[in-house]
Amino acid sequence: MKMIVYKIVTSAEWSEAKKKGQYDGSSDDRRDGFIHLSEGRQLRGTLDAHFKGKRDLLLIAFEASRLGADLKWEQSRKGDLFPHLYAPLDVSVALWERPLPIDSDGVHYLDEDILTC
C-alpha cells in the first residue's frame, strides 16, 4: 500500500510553485528548515492548529516514496512522528490538488472523500 503525505498550501503559493516547478515552502517551512507535511490521520490537527479560519487553501497529495531520501519522519506535536521534507517539493510528483472548503466557523471540511487518490 502506498504511503500518502499531504501539504496544505494557499492557492497563490501553489500557483507560484507550479510556475517554478517546485514549492520552496511557506514562511514557517523556511524558518524551520524543512517543509512540513502530514499523514492523513494528522491533517485535522494540522488544520486546527495552523490554518483555522484561513481561506483559499489547497490540499496537495504526494506518494512518500517519490519524495526521496530528503523525507524524514521526526517527532513533533504530542510526540507523534510527522513527515518533514528537507528539500523543495517537486510539483510534478503531486498526485492531486484539491480545495479545502471552510464553514462559517472557520473550520475546514475534511472527510475520507477528499483524501481518496
Please tell me the distance from the alpha carbon of residue 15 to that of residue 3, in angstroms, as a whole number.
Answer: 25
∠ CA 14-69-17, nearest 5°, is 10
pLDDT of residue 106: 85
pLDDT of residue 56: 95
In angstroms and rounded to an integer, the radius of gyration of the C-alpha atoms of the chain is 13
Please tell me the distance from the alpha carbon of residue 59 to that of residue 11, in angstroms, as a whole number.
Answer: 9
**39: CB partners within 8 A, 6+ apart:** 3, 4, 5, 6, 82, 83
Sketch out the chain's domains with CATH numbers.
4-105 (3.20.170.20)
The predicted-structure confidence for 72-88, as pLDDT tens digits, reads as follows 999 986 788 999 999 99
Mean pLDDT, to the nearest integer, of 34-38?
97
Mean pLDDT, to the nearest integer, of 84-106?
94
Mean pLDDT, to the nearest integer, of 50-66?
95
pLDDT of residue 18: 97
